[in-house]
Every structure is written in structure tokens, then in C-alpha cells.
Amino acid sequence: MGKTEIREKYILGIDQGGTKTAAAVMREDGFIVGQAVAKGAYFPNEGVESAVMAIREAVEGALKSAGIHIGDIALSVAGIGGVDWPGDDALLGEALQKKLSVEEIFVCNDAVIAFYSGTLRSHGAVICAGTGMNGALIDREGRQFVYGDYMEEKAQGGSALARRAARKVFDAELGLCPPTKLTPLFLGQAAVPDVDTLLKRYMTESGFRKELRFLVPQIMMVAERGDEVACGLIFEFAEEIVDYIEAGFRRMNMNPEEEEIVLAGSVFKGTENPLTKQVIKRIGERFQGANVMRACYEPVVGACIMGLCRLHMEPAEREKGIEESAAVLGLCYG
């Protein structure tokens, strides 16, 4: 009798947001062997079909890059923006099974896979702040809580931080707070001569308000240089983020001192980021012993690592392969 061929297992990771859809293929030894990117989609607004078609395009590209077929995939994990309500995961999962012809797919909110992009543990918390903000907690039994719309508008990541900074400019003009270097920053962005004209644009042009999120790195820089008003703004924002983290741990009956807390997303990027520093400081003051991690990889890698956990394969034993292949493919978080 001939030897039975042992087929290698592959994991398909998917990360979909409004900007892009990414897919990656990971071998069971942790090496990422293929990846691809397609256009983004937000299924609550654009529909399930639009989201699924974008995912299919990214998946086909990743499979081709890896040199394998969909039948070689042991498990797929898809982190999808907008999966906020009971039944969303089943709706997307069924549609993806049909379109991709996969046997097993696990669908969750994209904040969940962001957790696994910062740690090789299977439980803990994540705050993911980009244009908006979301977060999730996973306990030792695998139960999840996603903040979703519990995070109010004034906490919505870079967009909210920029709007709040603009309000500080208006407060300074009224004398409600000290003068601030944020004022020339916003006047320059708006290409206007004074705060009155800036206020008019802010109140009458929704497109202008949306564009302000691109000022977040400069707002961070103003705070980093010691501007009193900008520093106060960063402190307030960090305090609210930690409030959410504490509430999440309380809701899930988890002890933060025994967990890892991952900070992911563009708002936390940068080694000298004052918001990241402040959040880490406040977490340390409130939860002595809690371990704060910055995301190491792009979220699509987190989806693959989550797949390892769901297949009961220890990610820590595959750390070298994950790290080396992610670096080669440009999937390290930076």
C-alpha cells in the first residue's frame, strides 16, 4: 500500500473596510505565502453583494499569489467592517460560502481581527482607531463583545479628534481657552485669513469637515511640541478611550490586569505619538499589571493568526514564520 498523502493546511484571512479589502494566505507553519488587495466596501451602505464581490476579487488574487486553490483552505476568517448586530455574521458568512465555495468561514467585526494583529494570545482587548474608532474584547472562552455604536460620535477616532481640535480653535478665539498653535494649523488647512471665515466653512461645508481628519498627524505634532491646548485635548481623548476599555472589561467580567490590551489603527501610529503615550500611561495608572501592546501587523495578518487559534494551532510556536513572512510582504504595522 502507498503512503497516505498528508495535505498541508492553509488559512485564508480577510480584512474588509470602506477603504480596501485585503486577503492573505497563511500556511499552518505561520508563513504567509500570498496576499492581494481589492477595493473596499461597507456592506450596511453598499449591500452584501458589493462587499462579497470585493472580497472575492481579493481572495482570488491571494490564492493566485500563493499558488493554491480554494479547496486547499482549511479555514477562512473574515473581519468585516459593519458586522455590528446579531445575524450580520451569519448573513455575510452564508453569502461568502456560496461565492467563494469555502467549506468553513468565520465572520466577525474587523476590530476583532485587529486584536490578533498585536498579540499571539487568544483573549484580551483591542481599541482600533483610524478614521473612526471601534474596539472588542475576547474572553478565555472565546466570547466576544464589540463596542460598535456604543462608542459615541465624539469618540470616533481621527475624525472626532480633528473636529474637537477645531472646536478648541473656536474656543480660543472666544477666550474660553488659551491661544493655541492649532489656530494657524487650521487656518492654513482651510486657506482662510481668520477664525470667523474658518467657522463659516466648518459649519456650512460637510466636505471640509470630513477633510479635517487628515490633520491628525499635525495635531499630534502640535501636542508633542508642548502646546497647552493640544496637550489638554490629547489628555481628554486618552481618558475617554481608557474609560471605554474599563467599561468593556467590566461588561465582560474580565480582569484587565490579566489581559493584553492592543492599540491598533492609524491614530496610534508613530513611536512618539502623544496619544499612544497618554493612553498607555492612563492604562498603567488604572490597571496595574495590564500589558499594552501596539499592533505589529496589518489586520489581515491578525485574521490569519485568529485562524491558527481556531484550528488549535499555537501562534506563539509559529512567531518566527509570521514575523519573517509579514516583513517580506510589507504587512508589518508601521
Q: What is the pLDDT of residues 253-298, one digit of tens each?
A: 999 999 999 999 888 988 789 999 999 999 999 998 889 999 989 9
User: Is residue 232's pLDDT more than 70?
Assistant: yes
In this prediction, residue 334 carries a pLDDT of 62
Length of the chain: 334
In this prediction, residue 219 carries a pLDDT of 96
Question: Is the domain covering 121-295 a CATH 3.40.1480.10 domain?
Answer: no
The C-alpha cell that represents 183 in the structure block: 489656530
The C-alpha cell that represents 91 in the structure block: 448573513
Mean pLDDT of the chain: 92
Q: What is the pLDDT of residues 99-149, one digit of tens each?
A: 888 888 999 999 999 999 988 888 999 999 988 899 999 999 989 999 988
For the entire predicted model, the pTM comes to: 0.86
Q: How confident is the model at residue 2 (pLDDT cuts 50, 70, 90)?
A: very low
User: Is residue 171's pLDDT more than 50?
Assistant: yes
Q: Which of 101, 33, 28 is nearest to 71 (CA)?
A: 101
Contact at 8 Å (CB) between 297 and 153?
Answer: no
Question: Quick check: helix, strand or coil at residue 334?
Answer: coil
In this prediction, residue 205 carries a pLDDT of 92
User: Is residue 300's pLDDT more than 70?
Assistant: yes
Percent of the chain with pLDDT over 90: 78
Question: Quick check: helix, strand or coil at residue 60?
Answer: helix
Tell me which of 230 and 131 has the higher pLDDT: 230
Residues of the chain with CATH 3.30.420.40: 10-117+296-328, 121-295
Q: Which residues pair with 126 in a beta bridge?
A: 136, 262
The C-alpha cell that represents 269 in the structure block: 501610529
Which class is domain 10-117+296-328?
alpha beta
User: Is residue 1's pLDDT more than 60?
Assistant: no
DSSP H helical segments within the chain, as ranges? 43-46, 48-66, 88-100, 110-116, 157-174, 182-190, 195-204, 206-211, 216-224, 228-251, 274-286, 299-310, 319-328
Q: What is the pLDDT of residues 3-50, one digit of tens each?
A: 444 467 899 999 998 889 999 999 999 999 999 999 999 899 999 999
> How far is the C-alpha of 128 from the C-alpha of 118, rounded, in Å?
11
